[in-house]
Amino acid sequence: MAFETRKRVFSGIQPSGNLHIGNYTGALRNWVRQQDERDCFFCIVDLHAITVPQEPAVLRQGIREVALLYLACGIDPARVTMFVQSHRPEHAQLCWILDCVTPVGWLERMTQYKSKAAAQASVSAGLLAYPVLQAADILLYQADYVPVGEDQRQHVELARDIAGRFNRLFGETFVMPQVELPAVGARIKGLDDPTAKMSKSVAGHKAGHALRLLDPPDVLRKTIGRAVTDSGREIRFNPERLGVTNLLTIYQLCTGQTQAAIESQFEGQGYAGLKRAVADAVIEYLRPIRERYSELEAEPGYIDEVLRQGAERAGPVAAETLEMVTERVGLG
Ligand code: TYM
């Protein structure tokens, strides 16, 4: 992939559960690939996580775990700006201003809001405003590109709508961000239910659902062994055969082979052989991440310093946008 030099990039992950192979292929892997060419801001979006109830000690631990995983996956804090969202107050400040120009109807239409709200006994105002905070993240850094998985496309499109509305009301202020999806792995499905996307929150309480980045080899093998497949025998990429296609996609991501090569490799084989091969490939693929994570975990002071410096570096960019916005709106 060729990237235009020094374009600005923003993306983030919520510390809301165990990161899994979908978070890696949908987001992290593509972040790592562009950290030399582009001016990257990678965030741990903890303010988003509290839009649904969180246990404070678990959240605090989750923030560190996601930060360590960024590094373990190959993010280099010397080449990118990586930081925790709540360490920069400008995110919440810009969010409030954008809340005031965003019609509630736009937010009520968001599919993620509808499904998350349906799962809550009581829906917070924060959950409804969640995509406005996401727009604030992106627009604060005047990002050109937002590399994410397929499930975030609608939120990035909303960020464009909010930017467009603000620009019309107050004059050209924000860069129009573009969503960037990976060619393969933009939507990995749950192994227990290939009709649903693999999800962090489900990964935390349901064995057999996700391939978590820190799962030991025996757990990965067991999860893949139990994966739901389709009736039939054919091992091909086929959008109507969700279970097998999901396993083949994971295999493709781990091995880098073409679909045609993979299909001919598995021709005439059964599902047991497929699952064995996928398990071997996933275990080898995730091994370096797990090893690097345990090395990093042994030096806890290091990550605190990385995050402190990241927030410091993000500061002037965030402050410049916020100053322009407050001035245009007529505040202060
Ligand atoms: P989050 O934390 O749910 O997911 C982090 C990233 O992983 C991608 N992803 C997947 N990709 C492929 N297959 C899957 N099954 C899968 N599950 C998750 C997501 O698309 C995402 O890229 N709202 C965002 C976080 C956010 C953000 C931002 C992103 C907040 N502010 C600004 C970009 C820019 C979220 O909840 O992602």
7 is catalytic: no
Q: What's the Cα-to-Cα distance from 219 to each of 13, 70, 212, 216, 273, rounded to whole Å? A: 24, 22, 9, 6, 18
Q: Which pLDDT belongs to residue 203?
A: 85
206 is catalytic: no
Q: Which pLDDT belongs to residue 201?
A: 85
275 is catalytic: no
Q: Which pLDDT belongs to residue 17?
A: 80
Q: What's the Cα-to-Cα distance from 262 to each of 1, 222, 274, rounded to whole Å? A: 22, 22, 10
pLDDT tens digits in sequence order for the chain, 332 residues long: 677 678 999 999 999 888 999 999 999 999 999 999 999 999 999 999 999 999 999 999 999 999 999 999 999 999 999 999 999 999 999 999 999 999 999 999 999 999 999 998 999 999 999 999 999 999 999 999 999 999 999 999 999 999 999 999 999 999 999 999 999 999 999 999 999 999 998 888 889 999 999 999 999 999 999 999 988 889 999 999 999 999 999 999 999 999 999 999 999 999 999 999 999 999 999 999 999 999 999 998 999 999 999 999 999 999 999 999 999 999 97
Residue nearest to atom 31 of ligand 1 (CA): 134
Residue nearest to atom 26 of ligand 1 (CA): 12
| Residue of 137, 140, 124, 35 whose CA lies nearest to 85 | 137
Give the residues surrounding ligand 1 with Cβ less than 6 Å away: 10-14, 22-23, 25-27, 45, 48, 134, 137-138, 146, 148-149, 151-152, 155, 185-188, 197-198
Q: How far is the CA of 152 from the centre of ligand 1 (A)?
A: 6
Contacts 24+ apart (CB under 8 A), 213-219: 213/18, 213/19, 213/20, 213/21, 213/23, 213/24, 213/69, 213/72, 213/73, 213/286, 213/289, 213/290, 213/293, 214/18, 214/19, 214/69, 214/289, 214/290, 214/293, 215/286, 216/290, 217/283, 217/287
Give the amino acid at 92.
A
Residue-wise burial string across 152-181, b where 16 or more C-beta atoms lie within 10 A, e elsewhere: bebbbebbbebbebbeeebeebbbebebbb
